[in-house]
Amino acid sequence: MSQDKLVTEIRSEFGKGAARRLRAAGKIPAVLYGHGTDPKHLALPAHDTFLLVRYANAIIDLNIEGDSQLALVKDVQRNPIMMGADAIEHIDLIIVKRGEKVEVEVSVQLEGESAPGTINNLETPSLLLEVDALNIPEAVTVSIEGLEEGASIVAGDIDLPKGATLVTDPEQYILGIIVPQLETESEADGDAEAEGDIVPEEGDEENE
């Protein structure tokens, strides 16, 4: 995984009002912490940051007053009613160092097609892995090619990228292959009768 660079600024003002002014100036408030250091309150360039955090587990090379610091994007807080860079309200960053391991959630990506007439029910869309901080995979790939009804996959069945260690319980259910349940003819007839017009009882019309 490549490390993208961002030039940052140290923040000296805090609170909601300060954060609003910062975002209005095209910047995003962020906090950098980890490795026993005091948290650093930063301002990141909004547009460039938005382009980087579109990808999960982004590693960023931060320029902090001339010093370089690698950081993992841990959490991105977004405004659900806004779009683009304007939607990002705050970012949490964790200090990482070359050669160290980190625990990250990595998405499960399916490839192939299960047997004709079947579908998959993906119940666990990501795995928790321990990986090299500078070699975080974008996804783990699971092949469902040709799997028949009743087949299932648990976390321990998945081949992991080189150097990755599974943290998720190996028995965690990931997906199963099923045949969709089609509505039977008798059920359809019953539904139609239930939804049909109600025939008024004798005498009802006179009372209307």
Q: What pLDDT is stored for residue 169 in this prediction?
A: 97
Domain of 147, CATH number, reads 2.170.120.20
Domain count of the fold of the chain: 2
Per-residue pLDDT band for 207 (boundaries 50, 70, 90) equals very low
**What gap in Å lies between CA 13 and CA 21, rounded to an integer?**
10
> Over the stretch 19-65, which tens digit does the pLDDT of each residue have?
888 888 889 999 999 988 899 999 999 889 888 888 889 999 999 98
Backbone region of residue 84 per phi and psi (left: phi > 0; alpha: psi in -120 to 50; beta: other values): left
pLDDT, position 132: 95
Q: Based on the domain organization, do 46 and 86 belong to the same domain?
A: yes
| 172 and 138 in a common domain | yes
Longest dimension (CA), the chain: 91
Last residue of one domain, picked from the residues 97, 123, 143: 97
Flag whether pLDDT at 190 surpasses 60.
no
Distance (Å) of CA 56 to CA 2, 72, 136, 154: 13, 10, 10, 23
pLDDT on residue 199: 53
What pLDDT was estimated at residue 175? 96
Residues, the chain:
208
Q: pLDDT tier at 206 (50, 70, 90 boundaries)? A: very low
pLDDT classification of 11: cutoffs 50, 70, 90: confident
Measured CA to CA, the distance from residue 63 to residue 60 in angstroms comes to 9
* 128-137, 138-147, 150-159, 189-198: the lowest-pLDDT one: 189-198
Residues 45, 39: Cα–Cα separation, whole Å:
19
Q: What range does the domain containing 29 cover?
A: 4-97
End-to-end CA distance of the chain: 76
80-84 CB contacts, 8 Å cutoff, 24+ apart: 84/50
Give residue 192's pLDDT: 53
Q: Supply the DSSP string of the chain, one letter for each residue.
A: ---EEEEEEE----SHHHHHHHHHTTEEEEEEEETTEEEEEEEEEHHHHHHHTTSTT-EEEEEETTEEEEEEEEEEEE-TT--GGGGEEEEEEEE--TT-EEEEEEEEEEES--STT-EEEE---EEEEEEETT---SEEEEE-TTPPTT-EEEGGGSPPPTT-EE-S-TT-EEEEEE---PPPHHHHHHHHHHHSPPPPPTTHHHH-
The answer to whether residues 114 and 91 belong to one domain is: no
Residue 68 has pLDDT above 60, yes or no: yes
Mean pLDDT, residues 85-103: 89
pLDDT of residue 87: 79
Supply the CATH number for residue 32's domain: 2.40.240.10
Q: Flag whether pLDDT at 185 surpasses 80.
A: no
Asked whether residue 208 is domain-assigned, the answer is: no
**Which residue has better confidence, 62 or 194?**
62
Higher pLDDT pick, 205 / 49 = 49
**Strands 173-178 vs 152-154: parallel, antiparallel or unpaired:** antiparallel
Residue 39 counted as domain residue:
yes
